[in-house]
Amino acid sequence: MAESMRKPEESAKVADLAALGEFDGFEEFFEGEGEALEVNADATISGEAMQRQVEKLLERMTELLSFSVDQRVESARMATQLIDNQRQLIATQQILIRLMERSIDLTRHVSSIEEKLPVLFDLPRTVESIRQRLIQLEAVEVE
């Protein structure tokens, strides 16, 4: 209890007990209170430094979390872009496959035409030969 709140009887009892030596070092305990305040003042200063350090660490943690979130958002965007690119690649490959099939069909058609071309080129000679035979058989000249 503080001195001002003590009853006069208690103060007298404490003084009597102190005189008897039952409270050796009791005064020293309260005398050290002033020194403790000085130590507490230093502790407050280091507490403020600690508070500043904690605030800096919280700021850094906030920056790191923000950076992490930004990285995750960017990764998600890149993954979405990659999926879109893969879909476009698959669509392009399907188009190329269809074009190659058409090219193969056209090549077959052209090859069949080329196989028939010698006969077509020989057609004028064949007609002329038939005409010559007709003239010989009928002995008539046709113009």
In a domain, 143, yes or no: no
Report which listed range, 27-31, 90-94, 135-139, is most confident: 90-94
* Domain-located, residue 42: yes
Look at the block and give the residue holding tokens 């009853």.
Answer: 7
The per-residue pLDDT for range 36-87, each reduced to its tens digit, is 445 455 555 677 889 999 999 999 999 999 999 999 999 999 999 999 999 9
Average pLDDT rounded to a whole number, residues 16-30: 55
Residue 61 vs residue 134, higher pLDDT: 61
4: number of CA atoms within 13 Å, CB side? 0
Q: How far apart are CA 99 and CA 76, in angstroms?
A: 35
CA distances from 42 to 38, 55, 56, 87 (A): 6, 20, 21, 67
Q: How far is CA 47 from CA 17, 41, 56, in A?
A: 40, 9, 14
Residue 53 backbone dihedrals phi, psi, to 5 degrees = -65, -40
- The answer to whether residue 123 scores a pLDDT higher than 70 is yes
CB atoms within 10 A of CB 18: 13
Residue 75 has a pLDDT of 96
How many domains are there within the chain? Answer: 1
Instruction: Note down the domain range covering 134.
Output: 3-138
Q: Tell me the pLDDT tens digit for each residue of 94-122.
A: 999 999 999 999 999 999 999 988 888 88
Between 95 and 8, residue with greater pLDDT: 95
Instruction: Please indicate, yes or no, if residue 120 is contained in any of the structural domains.
Output: yes
Give the pLDDT of residue 1. 46
For 137, half-sphere exposure in the C-beta direction (CA atoms, 13 angstrom radius) is: 6
